A and B are shown apart, each in its own frame.
Chain A
């Protein structure tokens, strides 16, 4: 991360930093007392107040008040900028051609201006509830069964993609499938297709359906297909991932 920050900049320093930041497509942050006038699809005005202004390297503009998640004014990426001094005040204008919009920000005081070049190439990943269960399980397989070891974090079969492929303490292969809600007959049938495919090669293969609860029909169906069910809910998995981790020694270590 490269860049600089100036506290209580002079007007000249400020203008220079703003022009440099926007011109070089850097991230510009400013804290100050500012007013906002918007003309475009309608018009709005917001009188002077202490706010945070951000211009991102793609030209997005965000003006935040001290509270709320959403910015009070904003412009999308690709906006054009002009910065100048008028009557002793710094003005920053963001302009967009279609639809024609103009946001004019007038600073009465600037307490902080910062210009940074940020590198961020990481992929943003949002986990589904089942993925959270699986992550917790990989960290602590004993959540499902003592002695279980994860061999493959996923396994592709003709019948589909298996959530987790494991072996138990007596080295029997185990297919583990996660459901975030009460497990239905469909979930049992899905697991059964995976297990059937593997049992053709090895009749010893076990299948465990992991869910917070199971319907009576599903449990009966599972039993008739020689499949197992283990109770586990997303709340516990989040607890495991967040605070408990590996440093807690679970209660089964103290069983008589």
Chain B
């Protein structure tokens, strides 16, 4: 079998692994003729990621049969800590189970890591109707989440016809971010019915911090007491997270 990918910026690979590390330590990446795909749920079943990276995002993409690669993300990210402006070639040798990451810059570095035999979990799709869909800039969401995490463990999302509000409160104080249709950070707001729901900031913080590097805007979708969907607008692919709601 052949699996060989080339990308202009090694940093993209690093960002992609980062966006998964928010949820899982180990991950199964599937490569097929369409591109790379990952579907993973964190073991506590509070968050889920649905990731696809189309083949057109790569300078070269050669995969002759669907292949699954199990990776320990933390270990791989340790090796990628020192990348800068290099391009990258990925190749997988199925017989030895080793993945090679070749970094090409002013000189060439070759990292080879063992892959893991992981049992891919079957992750059924979620069936949720979202009453609110708000498109915001990733930086606005990231800043809100980090601010909120300083006062609370929970972030509440609320929407009425014209206003989208994120708020958190704790012993230290309160954080409120209110976006109306005139706010530059709010690009679109659709509300079928006024809704509010709360989500764990522990998960939001990890997710938003790592995914903001991959996309400038994100669609925030939710309904009262239903999961949250964060759809980051990545070029040539998709990056969607779901987070389970707090229910009083």
Interface residues of A (CB under 8 A from B): 136, 140, 142-143, 212-216, 219, 229, 231-233, 235-237, 239-240, 242-244, 247-256
Q: Is the CB of A254 within 8 A of B46?
A: no
Question: Across the interface, which residues of B come within 8 angstroms of A232, CB to CB?
Answer: 43
Q: Which of B43, B47, B125, B153 is close to A143, meaning CB atoms less than 8 Å apart? A: B43
Smallest CB–CB gap between A132 and chain B, Å?
Answer: 13
Q: Is the CB of A243 within 8 A of B200?
A: yes
Q: What are the nearest 8 A-B pairs in CB distance? A: A256-B127, A236-B44, A236-B43, A250-B45, A216-B117, A255-B124, A232-B43, A249-B247
Smallest CB–CB gap between B157 and chain A, Å?
Answer: 15
Q: Which of B4-12, B187-195, B238-246 lies at the interface?
A: B238-246
Question: Across the interface, which residues of B come within 8 angstroms of A236, CB to CB?
Answer: 42-44
Sample of 9 more A-B contacts, CB < 8 Å, known A136-B44, A250-B45, A251-B48: A229-B119, A236-B43, A243-B202, A248-B46, A248-B244, A250-B44, A251-B126, A255-B126, A255-B127
CB of B25 closer than 8 Å to a CB of A: yes
What is the size category of the interface that chain B forms with chain A?
A: 20 to 34
Q: Which of A140, A216, A237, A239 is close to B202, meaning CB atoms less than 8 Å apart? A: A239
- Given known contacts A213-B116, A216-B117, A254 and B25 CB-to-CB distance under 8 angstroms: no
Q: Is the interface of B mostly helix, strand, loop or mixed?
A: loop
A8 to B117 CA separation, bound complex (whole angstroms): 67
Smallest CB–CB gap between A256 and chain B, Å?
Answer: 3
11 cross-chain CB contacts under 8 A: A213-B118, A219-B117, A229-B119, A231-B121, A235-B25, A240-B44, A243-B202, A247-B248, A248-B46, A249-B225, A255-B124
A252 to B47 CA separation, bound complex (whole angstroms): 10
Question: Across the interface, which residues of B come within 8 angstroms of A233, CB to CB?
Answer: 25, 43
Q: Is the CB of A249 within 8 A of B245?
A: yes
Question: Across the interface, which residues of A come within 8 angstroms of B119, CB to CB?
Answer: 214, 219, 229, 231
Chain B 210-243 interface 0/1 with A at a Cβ cutoff of 8 Å (1 = within): 0000000000000001110000000000000010
A240 to B43 CA separation, bound complex (whole angstroms): 10
CB of B136 closer than 8 Å to a CB of A: no
Question: Across the interface, which residues of B come within 8 angstroms of A255, CB to CB?
Answer: 124-127
Q: Is the CB of B45 within 8 A of A254?
A: no
- Given known contacts A214-B119, A219-B117, A256-B127, A251 and B25 CB-to-CB distance under 8 angstroms: no
Chain B 109-140 interface 0/1 with A at a Cβ cutoff of 8 Å (1 = within): 00000001111010011111000000000000
A239 to B243 CA separation, bound complex (whole angstroms): 14
Question: Across the interface, which residues of A come within 8 angstroms of B245, CB to CB?
Answer: 248-249
Residue of B44, B116, B203, B246 ringed by the most chain A CB atoms within 10 A: B44
Q: Is the CB of A251 within 8 A of B43?
A: no
Smallest CB–CB gap between A218 and chain B, Å?
Answer: 10
A232 to B43 CA separation, bound complex (whole angstroms): 5
Q: Is the CB of A256 within 8 A of B125?
A: yes
- Given known contacts A233-B25, A243-B153, A249-B245, A142 and B45 CB-to-CB distance under 8 angstroms: yes
A253 to B107 CA separation, bound complex (whole angstroms): 51
Residue of A nearest to B47 (CB): A251
Q: Is the CB of A244 within 8 A of B127?
A: no
Question: Across the interface, which residues of B come within 8 angstroms of A229, CB to CB?
Answer: 119
Q: Is the CB of A251 within 8 A of B41?
A: yes
